[in-house]
Amino acid sequence: MTGTGTKRTVGVEEELMLVGHDGSPIARAQDVLGSAEPADGPLEHEFMEEQIETATPPRTTLEEIAAAIREGRAGAQTAAERHDARVAALGTSPLAFAGTTVGKLRYQAARAAFGLTAREQLTSGCHVHVGVAGDVEGVAVLDRIGPWLAPLLALSANSPYWMGDDSGYASFRSQVWSRWPTAGPTRVFGTPEAYHAAVDGLVATGTILDQGMVYFDARLSARYPTVEIRVADVCLSADTATLLAALARGLVETAARAADSPASDVPVEILRTALWRAGRSGLSGELVDPRTWRPAPAHDVVGALVDHVREALQDMGDLDTVTELLGTLWSRGNGAARQRAWAVEADGDLGAVARRAADATLE
Query: Is 295 inside a domain boundary?
Result: yes
Query: Is 109 inside a domain boundary?
Result: yes
Whether the per-residue pLDDT at 2 is higher than 60: the answer is no
pLDDT for residue 4: 38
pLDDT in tens, 245-262: 999 999 999 999 999 999
pLDDT for residue 1: 37
pTM exceeds 0.75 for this model: yes
- As a dihedral over the C-alpha atoms of residue 192, residue 7, residue 238, residue 344, rounded to 10 degrees, the angle is 70
Of the chain, the percentage scoring pLDDT greater than 90 comes to 98
Query: Is 167 inside a domain boundary?
Result: yes
**DSSP label of 318:** -
pLDDT in tens, 171-215: 999 999 999 999 999 999 999 999 999 999 999 999 999 999 999
Distance CA 342, CA 362 (A): 17
Domain that holds residue 68: 10-361
Beta strands 165-166 and 294-297 are unpaired
Number of domains in the chain: 1
Query: Is 301 inside a domain boundary?
Result: yes
pLDDT for residue 308: 98
Query: Is 355 inside a domain boundary?
Result: yes
**DSSP label of 209:** S
Whether the per-residue pLDDT at 6 is higher than 90: the answer is no
Which among 86, 235, 237 has a CA at the least distance from the CA of 173? 235
Q: How many residues does the chain have?
A: 363
pLDDT band at residue 3 using 50, 70 and 90 as cut-offs: very low
As a whole number, the mean pLDDT across the chain is: 96
Query: Is 2 inside a domain boundary?
Result: no
* Contact yes or no for 152/237 (Cβ under 8 A): no
pLDDT for residue 40: 92
Query: Is 3 inside a domain boundary?
Result: no
pLDDT in tens, 34-62: 999 999 999 999 999 999 999 999 999 99
pLDDT in tens, 313-325: 999 999 999 999 9
pLDDT in tens, 270-303: 999 999 999 999 999 999 999 999 999 999 999 9
Outline where DSSP puts E strands in the chain.
Answer: 10-19, 43-45, 51-55, 86-88, 125-131, 161-162, 165-166, 218-220, 226-233, 286-289, 294-297
Annotate 7-62 with DSSP letters as a single string: PPPEEEEEEEEEE-TTS-B---HHHHHHT--GGG--EEE-SBTTEEEEEPPPB-SH
Residue 183 sits in a domain of what CATH number? 3.30.590.20
Query: Is 45 inside a domain boundary?
Result: yes
